[in-house]
Chains A and B, each alone.
Chain A
């Protein structure tokens, strides 16, 4: 049975330990995770002659938050196989949910410099103008790290050898953040492809925000999917991930 005990004090302190120390002392990593969304933004701007700039800005924000949380797949494997931090925490009575939330919030802190930059750009270029659009963006920023961290924990806790972890993390990040309609309008995709790409926790987030950006109300189905899919990924991580042997 999944242990759902949560002590928020530990979650925040772990997020500070894992996220803040990375921001403070790992500037090159911050730059490296910013490089892909910024380069993609530039390419989309050039190719679409600025037409798709709004999509690239919002998509870059969602992709960055999701990719950083998915990147925890490598970190959780590293913490389990190399540093043995997971063993240390298991024996200290930390629950897997506390660990998962700590990783998720840690990634949010870690993403903060990039998020701040993208949010400023979204405001400057008026990619999102309505309060509802901003609300959905903030909701997505809070929800995506939880679902993506669930997937990361599931993968990272099942990997047997470190040599595979970073490669798998990179593949998962590309598959779940570059292919889905984050940087481009979702209606360009055939229906079947959109449904298939809903496997990414970021796809429904992008769909509802793009709907609002186009002046339409957000689809209730996509909104429900955003919440339920991320909850489901978190639960999947907790129930199928390896915490104690």
Chain B
């Protein structure tokens, strides 16, 4: 493992039994405290995170997790990581406290240590008053916090969070971001929410159709668009029937001065998709199929 990289992958591929090729040679290196894998639905984010967290075997390729071989050292990797699956939901009849204790004992903690740490972690994520409430009586945000408390208590070296805020209201989302920042481990999370990626991530991997399109720090990735604005209603790029272009604010104002009906918006991570020839997540049509 190169110095500081907690994940290294080399040409990872995954072909499902039904022939769907979810990953097509993913190679990347992650070393930042919070790294994000972003992409549209079906880009391969969940497949990638399930492979990296040892839940799914790759078809080919190689990966090192914390310097350990993904296939040969699965058991050792599992002792050192924590993974919260996409759309994980607590079991309704069990309380947050029971969830966290069960999870910590699964990770080889003693029952007394697990109980003590569960109480501490649940208080830390704001569930102190609800730790003995059946989880089916909790709000969506609180249910999600049960898993964050598990991750917090587990104190693993590396935590995987697959779309941790999907389906949450804005306030719960921001609260969840706070909990993610409080994790002491390195974190790899997937999201198709660019605001979330912007708020949390120090390193971004943009995945599309099972391939890495670009990766780097948000600043590096946004460098080509530095000093530019997004102009909607003018340009060569067409997204969802709308023309889009990027230019300096002065040039954009000049267009308005010429009487063109355009909208001007600040650039964001969403524009990474557009400049790389992809449809951004906010513009993609509703899809019924399962995330790969």
A residues near B (Cβ < 8 Å) are 7, 9-10, 13-14, 16-18, 21-22, 24-26, 79, 82-85, 87-94, 244-245
- In the bound complex, what is the Cα–Cα distance between A13 and B109 (angstroms)? 11
10 contacts between A and B (CB under 8 A): A9-B110, A14-B102, A17-B99, A84-B87, A87-B88, A88-B147, A90-B78, A93-B106, A94-B106, A245-B56
- In the bound complex, what is the Cα–Cα distance between A174 and B43 (angstroms)? 43
**Cβ of A10: which chain B residues have Cβ within 8 Å of it?**
105-106
Chain A proximity mask over B90-111: 1 for CB below 8 Å, otherwise 0:
1101110011011101111011
Which residue of A is nearest B51, CB measured?
A245
**Cβ of A87: which chain B residues have Cβ within 8 Å of it?**
50, 55, 83, 85, 88
Contact of A84 among B56, B86, B107 (CB under 8 A): B86
Contact of B105 among A9, A22, A88, A90 (CB under 8 A): A9
Which residue of A is nearest B78, CB measured?
A93
CB of B78 within 8 A of CB of A91, answer yes
Which residue of B is nearest A87, CB measured?
B85
CB of A88 within 8 A of CB of B103, answer yes
Contact of A88 among B75, B79, B84, B110 (CB under 8 A): B84
- In the bound complex, what is the Cα–Cα distance between A89 and B55 (angstroms)? 9
**Cβ of A93: which chain B residues have Cβ within 8 Å of it?**
75, 78-79, 106-108
User: Knowing A91-B53, A91-B82 touch, does A82 contact B89 (C-beta < 8 A)?
Assistant: yes
CB of B56 within 8 A of CB of A92, answer no
- If A13-B102, A92-B82 are given as contacts, then 14 extra A-B residue pairs at C-beta distance below 8 Å, sorted by A number, are A7-B108, A9-B105, A10-B106, A13-B101, A13-B114, A16-B102, A17-B94, A18-B91, A25-B93, A83-B91, A88-B88, A88-B103, A90-B54, A92-B107
- In the bound complex, what is the Cα–Cα distance between A82 and B91 (angstroms)? 10
**Cβ of A92: which chain B residues have Cβ within 8 Å of it?**
78, 82-83, 103, 106-107
CB of A89 within 8 A of CB of B50, answer no
**Cβ of A18: which chain B residues have Cβ within 8 Å of it?**
91, 94
Of the four ranges (under 10, 10 to 19, 20 to 34, 35 or more), the interface on chain B belongs to 35 or more
**Cβ of B147: which chain A residues have Cβ within 8 Å of it?**
88
CB of A21 within 8 A of CB of B106, answer no
- In the bound complex, what is the Cα–Cα distance between A87 and B147 (angstroms)? 13
Which residue of B is nearest A78, CB measured?
B91
- In the bound complex, what is the Cα–Cα distance between A85 and B98 (angstroms)? 13
Instruction: Report if B205 contacts A (CB, 8 A).
Output: no
**Cβ of B279: which chain A residues have Cβ within 8 Å of it?**
none
Which residue of B is nearest A24, CB measured?
B93
Cβ distance A30 to chain B, nearest Cβ, rounded Å: 11
Cβ distance A22 to chain B, nearest Cβ, rounded Å: 5
**Cβ of A89: which chain B residues have Cβ within 8 Å of it?**
106
CB of A91 within 8 A of CB of B98, answer no
CB of B91 within 8 A of CB of A79, answer yes
CB of B53 within 8 A of CB of A9, answer no
- In the bound complex, what is the Cα–Cα distance between A82 and B86 (angstroms)? 10
Which residue of A is nearest B81, CB measured?
A91
Instruction: Report if B126 contacts A (CB, 8 A).
Output: no
Q: A-B pairs with the 10 shortest C-beta distances?
A: A93-B78, A84-B85, A91-B83, A17-B102, A21-B94, A87-B85, A84-B88, A13-B105, A92-B106, A83-B89
User: Knowing A10-B106, A26-B93, A82-B89 touch, does A17 contact B98 (C-beta < 8 A)?
Assistant: yes
User: Knowing A90-B55, A91-B82, A92-B78 touch, does A84 contact B106 (C-beta < 8 A)?
Assistant: no
**Cβ of B150: which chain A residues have Cβ within 8 Å of it?**
88
User: Knowing A25-B134, A92-B106 touch, does A84 contact B89 (C-beta < 8 A)?
Assistant: yes
Instruction: Report if B57 contacts A (CB, 8 A).
Output: yes
- In the bound complex, what is the Cα–Cα distance between A93 and B98 (angstroms)? 19
**Cβ of B111: which chain A residues have Cβ within 8 Å of it?**
9, 13
CB of B95 within 8 A of CB of A21, answer yes
**Cβ of A25: which chain B residues have Cβ within 8 Å of it?**
93, 134
Chain A proximity mask over B141-181: 1 for CB below 8 Å, otherwise 0:
00000010010000000001000000000000000000000
